[in-house]
Amino acid sequence: MQIAGLTNRGRERVRNEDSYFLQADSDVVLIVVADGMGGHQAGNVASGLAVSTAERIWDDLNRTEPLTAEMARALVSRLILDANRLILDEAVRSAARQGMGTTLTSGLLCDNRLTIGHIGDSRAYLVHKGKIKLLTRDHSLLEQLIESGQVKPEEAHYHPQRHILTRALGTILEPQVDIAEFDLETDSILLFCTDGLTNLVSDAEILALCLEESDPHSLAESLVDLANSRGGHDNITVVLATGIGGQEV
């Protein structure tokens, strides 16, 4: 298995409010992507606090003992809830940071079992045997409108309400967190990303690049470059794990 992460400010934003965390040790990998809420105070601080929580969780994790499914679910849930409390506490201490928030999508891969904790509209994808599958559900007003039939999926990229989130860290004390588990097959590819990529690059185009590029670093660069070539309207973050089931990390 090989891993790579890349974040880019894009072509229009003054600063990068995305953050990511990526660490691997033997058969355990932790991936986190966080997108500071645009238009709010200190979105970059909020996403950075989410990543600092992931760093602490990783440092405290005993990777020499088997990680059960129950332990993995508890860990990704704790990561998100701890990050939320940290963000809320910081907002109370600093008036300039009140109202800051972030998405957070985390994945804990142990052997070939993936546990995802998710809130917001950053995404996780699985690519395997020439197909791409979205593993998360966007917590956004637009997603609700699509599910209710009020908006067609092909209209999503241009809809004026596409940036309105229905769930995010830093908004309430006990946010609802989506937890999902997947058994991955050998040679799968995992892609975690922020909406700076998916608002400009379709799932089919992501799949095509994944099938063309075998090196995760080159793949991450290609995905970011494609989003920037189409305007780079937002920060862009891509984190990849390729060749799952292999030995190299």
Could you read off the pLDDT of 170-186 as tens digits, one per residue?
989 999 999 999 999 99
Stronger pLDDT, 192 or 166, i.e. the higher one: 192
For the cut 50, the answer to whether the pLDDT of residue 41 exceeds it is yes
pLDDT (0 to 100) of residue 210: 96
- What is the mean predicted confidence (pLDDT) over 22-46? 87
- What is the mean predicted confidence (pLDDT) over 21-41? 87
For the cut 80, the answer to whether the pLDDT of residue 242 exceeds it is yes
Q: For residue 60, which of 84, 35, 88, 82 has the smallest C-alpha distance?
A: 82
How is the chain split among helix, strand and coil, in percent rounded to 5?
35, 30, 35
Domain boundaries, the chain: 2-242
Angle at 116 (CA atoms; ends 110, 119), nearest 5 degrees: 155
pLDDT (0 to 100) of residue 127: 97
- What is the mean predicted confidence (pLDDT) over 62-83? 92
pLDDT (0 to 100) of residue 97: 86
Longest Cα–Cα distance of the chain, Å, equals: 50
Percent of the chain with pLDDT over 90: 73
Are 195 and 122 in contact, with CB atoms under 8 Å apart? yes
Distance CA 215, CA 209 (A): 11
pLDDT (0 to 100) of residue 204: 96
Collapse the DSSP code of 147 into the 3-class scheme (helix H, G, I; strand E, B; otherwise coil) and give the result. Answer: helix
Query: Which of 74-78, 122-126, 160-164 is the least confident region?
Result: 160-164
- 2-242: CATH, from 3.60.40.10, 3.40.50.12160, 3.40.640.10, 3.40.30.10: 3.60.40.10
Are 236 and 196 in contact, with CB atoms under 8 Å apart? yes
Distance CA 191, CA 224 (A): 13
Stronger pLDDT, 157 or 74, i.e. the higher one: 74
Q: For residue 53, which of 112, 117, 9, 138 has the smallest C-alpha distance?
A: 117
pLDDT (0 to 100) of residue 246: 58
Distance CA 178, CA 160 (A): 26
Collapse the DSSP code of 31 into the 3-class scheme (helix H, G, I; strand E, B; otherwise coil) and give the result. Answer: strand
Report the predicted TM-score, pTM, of the whole model to 2 decimal places.
Answer: 0.91
Q: For residue 219, which of 247, 246, 193, 182 has the smallest C-alpha distance?
A: 193
pLDDT (0 to 100) of residue 196: 95
H helices of the chain, in order, are 43-60, 69-93, 141-147, 195-198, 203-212, 216-229
For the cut 50, the answer to whether the pLDDT of residue 249 exceeds it is no
Q: For residue 29, which of 144, 111, 128 has the smallest C-alpha distance?
A: 111
Residues linked to residue 134 through DSSP beta bridges, in sequence order: 125
Query: Which of 27-31, 79-83, 153-157, 178-182 is the least confident region?
Result: 153-157
Query: Which of 180-184, 194-198, 232-236, 243-247 is the least confident region?
Result: 243-247
Structure-token match 């075998």, residue found = 214
Distance CA 209, CA 232 (A): 18
Percent of the chain with pLDDT over 70: 88
**Per-residue pLDDT reduced to its tens digit, 128-178:** 999 999 999 998 766 666 566 666 665 556 555 566 788 999 989 999 999
Distance CA 220, CA 5 (A): 7
Distance CA 181, CA 162 (A): 27
pLDDT (0 to 100) of residue 79: 97
